[in-house]
């Protein structure tokens, strides 16, 4: 997470790992900019 405290603007990047019952794994990356408290706008 890279957020500029002074301006309140920045970008958030994260990874989500999904594990399936058959043992397969899928990794998805999400990236977005905070648009408000408790809210995020992703791509």
Instruction: Return d(Cα 14, Cα 9) in angstroms, integer.
Output: 17
Tell me the domain boundaries of the chain: 2-29
Tell which residue, 28, 29, 32, has the closest CA to residue 10. 32
* pLDDT of the residue at 30: 78
* pLDDT of the residue at 13: 75
Tell which residue, 39, 36, 34, 38, has the closest CA to residue 13. 34
3 state DSSP class of 5: coil
pLDDT, tens digit, for every residue of 1-43?
565 556 556 667 778 888 999 999 998 887 776 665 555 555 5
* pLDDT of the residue at 22: 93
């Amino acid at each position: 997470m890279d957020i500029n405290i002074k301006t309140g603007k920045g970008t958030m990047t994260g990874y989500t790992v999904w594990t399936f019952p058959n043992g397969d794994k899928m990794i998805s990356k999400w990236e977005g900019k905070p648009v408000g408290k408790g809210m995020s706008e992703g791509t």
